[in-house]
Amino acid sequence: MDPVTSSPDDAPSLEVSGLAYAYPDGHQALFGVNLTVGRGERVALLGPNGAGKTTLVLHLNGILDAGSGTVRVAGLPVAKRNLAEIRRRVGIVFQDPDDQLFMPTVREDVAFGPASAGLRGPELEERVLRALKQVGMEEYAARPPHHLSFGQRRRVAVATVLAMEPEILVLDEPSSNLDPASRRELADILRSLDVTVLMVTHDLPYALELCPRAVILSEGVIAADDRTRDLMCDGKLMRSHRLELPFGFDPRSAGVPSA
Ligand SMILES: Nc1ncnc2c1ncn2[C@@H]1O[C@H](COP(=O)(O)OP(=O)(O)OP(=O)(O)O)[C@@H](O)[C@H]1O
């Protein structure tokens, strides 16, 4: 077996075990986080400002180095020697699409990752087209990203990550700055993908709509891990972690996602 690219078929998409981290200034942001996400699950990562969500996400593809504990992606440990493969397996879509789009055309932006990984010719073209189709943006391949709407740019940013055929798609506030129609379209796209999803969000109705399971990260530890609806119906739990549902929103009667 190739020790870098192979992984046991039955390994979960993500296994975080005992992850602790302090920033160089000494601020301890994570205190022993344990989280397993199975293949094909869609999980919402909730928590108040400063809970440690971004810090956790930055460990998933090795941008930050674990102080202690381990992170595995489809069985492969996140470690310096595996970083290229880990970064292919963990696709992070950042909140601002403009952090991710920098080429003259949409096609070149989506091709950038797979081309850097060595894909060429018709194989590369096919990969780009497939990713653009997955987000409904194939008609825009020749357009400069800066001529697109914010919602379209976010979809292209998702395509740049899908083009790497990731094991897990990590989305940071995917619904932010989207109008209701774009929000709905992105939800439909995310539901249609055959990929594990970890979604960091403060948009609780969006989390309920898309993710059957949610975890609450609070003060650097996982404070709850449950079905999203059950968690949101527990008013005391929600209040104790500064999680507020929008006025009038009733999680008991809102739509349930399919797993
Ligand atoms: N570079 C840094 N140096 C020192 N402390 C940091 C640094 N980045 C974040 N922190 C601290 O680590 C803690 C966790 O921050 P983090 O950004 O992970 O929270 P978050 O849950 O993503 O918050 P938000 O919902 O506001 O995005 C906070 O107390 C924050 O002030």
Question: What are the beta bridge partners of residue 44?
Answer: 199, 214
SS3 category, 44: strand
Which pTM value belongs to this model? 0.93
pLDDT at res. 7: 52
Cα distance between residue 19 and residue 220, in whole Å: 10
Q: How many CB atoms are located within 10 Å of the residue 154 CB?
A: 28
Q: Is residue 37 over pLDDT 50?
A: yes
Q: Which fold has domain 14-240?
A: Rossmann fold (3.40.50)
Q: Which of 230, 206, 205 is nearest to 197 (CA)?
A: 206
Give dist(CA 172, CA 153) in Å, integer. Answer: 14
Angle at 60 between CA 56 and CA 61, to 5 degrees: 135
ipTM: 0.98
For the cut 60, the answer to whether the pLDDT of residue 1 exceeds it is no
Atom 31 of ligand 1: nearest residue by CA position? 50
pLDDT in tens, 205-256: 999 999 999 999 999 999 999 999 999 999 999 999 999 999 989 999 876 5
Residue 201 Cβ inside 6 Å of ligand 1? The answer reads: no
Q: Establish whether residue 102 lines the binding site of ligand 1, counting it when its CB lies within 6 angstroms of any ligand atom.
A: no
Atom of ligand 1 nearest to the CA of 56: 18
Contact 46, 215 (CB under 8 A): yes
- Residue 67's pLDDT is 81
Q: What six digits make up the tokens of 85?
A: 């493969």
Is any atom of ligand 1 closer than 6 Å to the C-beta of 242? no
Closest-CA residue, ligand 1 atom 7, reads 23
For residue 155, what pLDDT is reported? 97
Q: Measuring from atom 1 of ligand 1, which residue has the nearest CA?
A: 23
Which of 23, 45, 46, when mutated, tests ligand 1's pocket best, judged by the most ligand atoms within 8 Å of its CB?
A: 23
Beta bridge partners of residue 187, listed in sequence order: none
Instruction: Report the pLDDT value the prediction gives residue 196, as an integer from 0 to 100.
Output: 98
Q: Is 25 in the pocket of ligand 1 (CB under 6 A)?
A: yes
Q: What is the mean pLDDT of residues 82-108?
A: 95
Looking at residue 81, what is its pLDDT? 94
Q: Is 23 in the pocket of ligand 1 (CB under 6 A)?
A: yes
Say if ligand 1 is within 6 A of residue 29 CB. Answer: yes
Does the CB atom of residue 249 touch ligand 1 within 6 A?
Answer: no
Q: In the chain, where are the structural domains located?
A: 14-240
pLDDT at 5 over 70: no
pLDDT at residue 257 tops 80: no
List the residue whose alpha carbon is closest to atom 30 of ligand 1: 50
Are the C-beta atoms of residues 206 and 183 closer than 8 Å to each other? yes
Query: What pLDDT score was predicted for residue 169?
Result: 98
Can you say whether residue 234 is alpha, beta or left, with left for phi > 0 and alpha for psi between -120 and 50 degrees?
beta
In the chain, % of residues over pLDDT 90: 92
Across 14-24, average pLDDT: 97
> Contact at 8 Å (CB) between 45 and 56?
yes
CA–centroid distance, residue 45 to ligand 1 (Å)? 15
Which tokens sit at 166?
């990731």
Tokens of 253: 């009667």
pLDDT digits (tens, 9 = 90+) for 107-160: 999 999 999 999 999 999 999 999 999 999 999 999 999 999 999 999 999 999
Give 98 Cα–ligand 1 centroid separation in angstroms.
22
First-to-last CA distance in the chain? Answer: 32
Lowest-pLDDT choice from 30-39, 48-57, 85-94, 247-256? 247-256
Does the CA dihedral 153-144-164-91 come out positive or negative?
Answer: negative
